[in-house]
Amino acid sequence: MSLMTAARSSFLLLTLSMAAPLLAQERNNGNDPMSVLTRETYVRPPADIERLVTAPRHLNVTLANQSPTRRLFVKQQSDGMPTIQLFGKPWYNLAGFQVDPKANRARALTTRSGVVLEIIDVVNGKSTPVEVPQGARVSGARWSPNGMQLAFMANFDDATHALHS
């Protein structure tokens, strides 16, 4: 089979595969397509599904940031969806990397950081708050190799500082 014949066959198959859904829509069991659209309504999901979908995601907890001993883990909690003020701050887009120029950092540290850090003991469930500077948003919590200290970034409006507790 020549290259030209193969190209024509491929084009024909592509054309037919695109036309099949259109033909199926036109049949529509004898109904006018516009009448189907006018009869469609919003259907509420079951209450359990609606509750799960609308649950406040910023309260979710994962065991992802465990200490080296696996007994403690860090819970970083945000204050919910970022505000318009955070999203409205000036930023630069450098080839897909978004920069907050006032704070000289990645924009995600401004818009996706938390406000609370807690250390939770897996064995007894005890929660110990980590002291966070007033007005700081926190991100990047990491355990020291021996699990005795926790380092994190304190993101202020115009700067980021590395802290530990």
Name the region of 110 (left: φ>0; alpha: ψ -120 to 50; beta: rest).
alpha
Whole-model pTM: value is: 0.63
136, exposed or middle or buried, with CB in 10 Å at 0-12, 13-18, 19+?
buried
Token pair belonging to 28: 């529509």
For 65-110, the pLDDT digits (tens) are: 899 999 999 999 888 888 888 888 898 999 989 999 998 898 888 8
Query: Cβ of 114: how many Cβ atoms within 10 Å?
Result: 19
- Are 44 and 50 within 8 A, CB to CB? yes
Residue 84: its pLDDT value, please?
86
Is the pLDDT at 118 greater than 90, yes or no? yes
Residue 111: its pLDDT value, please?
82
Residue type, 150: L
For 123-151, the pLDDT digits (tens) are: 998 999 999 999 999 999 999 999 999 99
Residue 77: its pLDDT value, please?
87
Residue 11: its pLDDT value, please?
60
For 9-59, the pLDDT digits (tens) are: 666 555 655 555 555 555 555 567 777 677 777 778 889 988 888 888 777
Dihedral (Cα; 82, 83, 86, 88), 10-degree rounding: 120
